[in-house]
Amino acid sequence: MSTVEPRNTGERHSYDVVVVGAGGAGLRAAIAAHDAGARTAIVCKSLLGKAHTVMAEGGIAAAMGNAWPEDNWKVHFRDTMRGGKMLNNWRMAQLHAQEAPDRVLELEEWGALFDRTKDGLISQRDFGGHRYARLAHVGDRTGLEMIRTLQQRAVALGIDVFMECTITEILKDGDRVAGAFGYWRESGRLITFEAPSVVLATGGIGKSFKVTSNSWEYTGDGHALAVRAGASLINMEFVQFHPTGMVWPPSVRGILVTESVRGDGGVLKNSEGRRFMFDYIPEFFKAETADSIEEADRWYTDKKNNRRPPELLPRDEVARAINSEVKAGRGTPHGGIYLDIASRRDPEYIKRRLPSMYHQFKELADVDITREPMEIGPTCHYVMGGVEVDPDTAAAVVPGLYAAGEVAGGMHGSNRLGGNSLSDLLVFGRRAGLNAAYYAARTKDSPVTVDDDAVRAAADAALAPFSEEGGENPYTVQKDLQEVMHNLVGIIRTAEELEQALGEIEKLAERSRHLTVEGNRQYNPGWHLAIDLQNMLWVSECIAKAALTRTESRGGHTRDDYPMTDQDWGTKNIVLRRRGDSVELAIQPLPQMPAELKALFEEK
């Protein structure tokens, strides 16, 4: 139902569950909520089908055992925990490993077309950090197929979708969620959703950084909405820099080059033509990593009797190694290193297995990857940190608020393994949707109400840049923020630089209070950015503050002044909450893993 409210607060809609975000997690949550009987709406910032999930190319990690019968959920769980340097929420990692195969088969039932083995099973490929080939894939376009399938399912079920609509505030009734407030991007008209349950599925934070694989939507909206609503964030210091992003030409810098290139035989070389990854094998992974080129190459045809190539180490290890080579002066002419599959596989194999990569380099960089190597380098790709949620229900500490996918924290610990993102979206998207619907049903006896004053306050905040005269240009402030995060809170960090970053972020936050946008509310990108900037600044402060506090190096967090992993820090999470207009930080113990799961790490 829709009604027009007085005093310019726009239209209103009433639902049981509102899902913010239409990527893999949001679509799966909406489907689950609908199937549980909830009146459900999806609100997305861009067009349906344009979610950043389509950029997840390599596959969905699930221990289905199609390629290796020895694979099972316990091996996947162990790989995930080891990849996250044991800082993962063990229960989330367990549920993820146990339920991922069913979620993949569910996609297939709904029409997803996967590549096949010669026996007709879903094909599974190798990825860094996974002991066995376990990524269910569709060439190198898996995310696209996943979104296509889920989108088709959601539309067929008749779930309402509000496209090109940005949520700017979570509305509350006392301490409970009461709905969400936002605006239509095309017209600038305001919109209020009344709902006892809101699921955040907004993705990541990459647009706070200068070089990123993330699309324009990734401005930390869900993270900021949650913390402003009273939820806590966890693990925000851990930002994953994917080791392989395009570095040339400048217009495409940061665009993702899938890990599938390395899974299918691609190797990393420096400007001297040497496979340098053998110099960077950490003690933690030495037992399962080949220490010679001969063994590494044999692994592709005989995986039982040889260890994995070091190019398939977890992403944090590979990104740091590339960074070190470039800093040592052994980089490519454009500041990256070479990823070579041309000399390792024939052109037909490359075009069949990596069609998107072939076209991406041919069209954007005029490089034929079947004939010459790619120039690649680390790019801000994924944040392991996010909303602190209950592992079984995906519920935040605010009653009625749920989070799934990249916006939720805990599942990946300090580093995410490739392929785990897509299965994470499916497993916890479903759990978030179901539990949001169950919670909404429980509120029938004590319904929430939206306070009109809160709606008007949200409207005033959203429209404020139009009434500020002589203020800052939002594009200038964003550019300065990206420089700060790139230079001071990047792959390698120090206390001095992090303290400087926090000082700069504080100045930028002050500047952002006086933004001026020109024109009117009809599709006004400057206004949209002015709103997004508030979210980016909240998230950037959380990342820098947590990074300064964690005095060790672990996963996606590397401190030059504390280069070693600290056993004591391995038992602690950093939790961030809002206190007034700033961020409050606390340290809490890691949940204790049961003995039967601990025993898995004692096995060789």
State pLDDT tens for residues 481-535. 999 999 999 988 999 999 999 999 999 999 999 999 999 999 899 999 999 999 9
pLDDT at 3: 34
- Give the active site residue among 242, 416, 430, 511: 242
Determine how β-strand 408-409 pairs with β-strand 386-388: parallel
Query: Distance of alpha carbon 212 from its chain centroid, rounded?
Result: 12
Whole-number Å distance between alpha carbons of 278 and 281? 6
d(CA 20, CA 139): 29
**What's the chain's average pLDDT?**
93
Give the highest mean pLDDT range of 46-55, 311-320, 400-409: 400-409
What percentage of the chain exceeds 70 in pLDDT?
98
pTM, to two decimals: 0.90
Query: How many residues would you count in the chain?
Result: 604
Q: Which residue type occupies 290?
A: A
3-state helix, strand, coil in the chain (%, to 5): 40, 20, 40
Asked if 262 is an active-site residue, the reply is yes
> Of the listed 13, 96, 153, 262, which one is catalytic?
262
Our answer to whether residue 13 is catalytic in this structure is no
**Of 476, 477, 316, nearest to 381 (Cα)?**
316
> How far, in Å, CA of 555 to CA of 577, rounded?
23
Q: Tell me if 64 sits within 8 A of 134, measured CB to CB.
A: yes
Burial of 574 (0-12, 13-18, 19+ CB in 10 A): buried
Cα 480 from chain centre: 23
What pLDDT band is residue 75 in, cutting at 50, 70 and 90? very high
Name the pLDDT band for 173 (thresholds 50, 70, 90): very high
The token pair at 352 is 């069949």
Whole-number Å distance between alpha carbons of 293 and 417: 24
End-to-end CA distance of the chain: 60
b/e 219-233 (16+ beta carbons within 10 angstroms → b): bbbbbbbbbebbbbb
10 Å Cβ neighbour count for 194? 21
Alpha carbon distance 158, 242 (integer Å)? 37
Average pLDDT over residues 547-569: 95
What is the distance between the alpha carbons of residues 58 and 143, in angstroms, rounded to a whole number? Answer: 8
Task: Choose among 50, 27, 46, 45: nearest CA to 155.
Answer: 27
Kindly report, residue by residue over 29-39, the tens digit of the pLDDT: 999 999 999 99
